[in-house]
Each structure stands twice: as C-alpha cells, then as structure tokens.
Amino acid sequence: MYALVVDEVDEDALRWSSQRLQKFRDALPVCSLDLPVSDVDRTAVLSWRWDIDSEEGFSANIWLALRLAKQLRIRHLFMDLVSVDQNLGGDALLNEVVAFSDLYQRLPVIVTYDHPSAGTRRKWYWTMRRP
C-alpha cells in the first residue's frame, strides 16, 4: 500500500500550490510499504476532512498534518488520497478501502479537521493517539 514520505514533502511548495487535484496528488512523494508495517513508531495514518480546493489544489488539513508528522518524526503517512486508488471500482476498490480502514486499528492516528464555524479565521484541531 502506498504511503506519503513525510520528510520528502516540500511544505512551502505544498502550501502555495496552484495545481489541480490530480497534479496535486501526483506531486506528493510516495512509496510502497508492505503490510503489516514493521516501523510503527515512524508510521501513522491520517484522518482528515477533505478540504482540497479544486481550483487552487491546496489543503490546509494536509499541510497541518505534515507539520505535525514532522514534529513527531513520523516518516510515512498513510492517507486515503494516496493509499487508496481513487480510480478503482467494485471489489477492487472495496478491498483497498477495507485494508486502509484496518490501519486505524494498528497505527497511530493523526487527525486534522478545520473547525467549520471559525469562518474566515479558521481554527484547526489535531491530535495523535495510539490504538
């Protein structure tokens, strides 16, 4: 399964990206990891609210998750955007979604959700937990 390689992401490029969603996804550095993951202390799974602006190709929630992951020395971050092939259908897609959802029980979780009632002064909440 594919995971984002956290320390290879250029935060500034990600923050000021003007690419469309597919280019945004393709620009993220990923690698394939075998499951179950052997280095649990340096791997996490992301729970986030999809907030990618289709015009700008930017996600504040991903940006914040990456900053937190770097602070916590997380090397690989599983996230549905890169870990689940969005072009699959039927049973193939279902199998990937089930495998991805299993990660929430086995890995630390980083959660990034912007607070919708914050209006133009958006506030974000994030946390980390171990299963």
Residue-wise pLDDT for 43-63, tens only, equals 999 998 877 766 666 777 888
Rounded to two decimals, the pTM is: 0.78
pLDDT at 18: 46
pLDDT exceeds 60 at position 124: no
- Residue 42 reports pLDDT greater than 90: yes
Residue 118, pLDDT above cutoff 70: no
| Residue range 109-129: mean pLDDT, rounded | 61
How many Å apart are CA 23 and CA 25, to the nearest integer? 5
- The answer to whether the beta carbons of residues 41 and 21 sit under 8 Å apart is no
Strand partners, 45: 78, 109
**Top-confidence residue, 42 or 87:** 42
Calpha distance 43→2 (Å, rounded): 12
Edge-to-edge strands, sheet with 30-32: 30-32, 2-5, 76-78, 43-48, 109-114, 124-129
- 42, 74 Cβ separation under 8 angstroms: yes
Q: Which of 15-24, 32-41, 57-66 has the weakest average pLDDT?
A: 15-24
Q: What does the mean pLDDT of the chain come to? A: 79
pLDDT reading at 16 higher than 50: no
Which amino acid type is present at position 37?
V
Task: Report, in angstroms and rounded to the nearest whole number, the Rg of the chain calculated over CA atoms.
Answer: 14
Longest Cα separation, the chain: 42
